[in-house]
Amino acid sequence: MSSPKAPPVSLRPLTAEEYDGWKTHSCENYAADIGPARRLDPAAALEAAYREFDTLLTDGPTTENQLVWLAYHEGTPVGSLWISTQKAVPFVYLIEVRAEQRGKGYGRSIMLAGEEECRSRGYDSLALNVFGSNSVATGLYDSLGYEVVTQEMRKTL
C-alpha cells in the first residue's frame, strides 16, 4: 500500500549485529520522550529506557513475539519499526524515520507496511501509544484511521 505521499518501503528483520547500535539510538530517543512525560532527569530516563528495552527484548531482535525491522526504500535505510505480538492486539512500541528522511512520507509507509505484516499474520487490529506533545505523530495516526481508546491527562499544580 502506498500513495504519492507514502513512498513504498520494505521491512527487513533487524540482525543481531545491528541490534546494539539500534538499541542505543532507540533508548536515547525514548529517554528524551519519557523524561519530560514521567518527570525524570536525563540519566534516570535513560536508565528507565534501557530497563524497558531489556525487559521486552530479552533475546534482542530474536525475542519471541517481538518483530523488529529496519525499513528501506529502494535499498536506502529510512527507519525502523518494532511491533510486539505478545497480546491479542499487536502493539507498536517504536516507529522511527531517520532524521535525514523525515518529511518524505516514510512514517506513513512504515506504518502501512507494519499493518500489512500484522494482517498477513492473522491480526485484525494494531495498537500504539503516542506522547501528547508529538503532534506530528498524532496527525499521522489520525490520518491512518487510528482512534483514541484511552487517554491519560495531567495538570501541573
- Enclosing H/E stretch for 135: helix 135-143
pLDDT of residue 156: 82
pLDDT of residue 46: 98
Measure CA of the first residue to CA of the last residue in the chain; give whole Å: 46
Q: Give mean pLDDT, residues 28-46.
A: 96
The least confident of 28-32, 119-123, 145-149, 150-154 is 150-154
Model confidence band, residue 54 (pLDDT cutoffs 50, 70, 90):
very high
pLDDT of residue 4: 52
Residue spans of beta strands (DSSP E) within the chain: 10-13, 66-73, 76-84, 91-97, 127-128
Q: Give mean pLDDT, residues 128-136.
A: 91
**Which amino acid is residue 17, in one-letter code?**
E
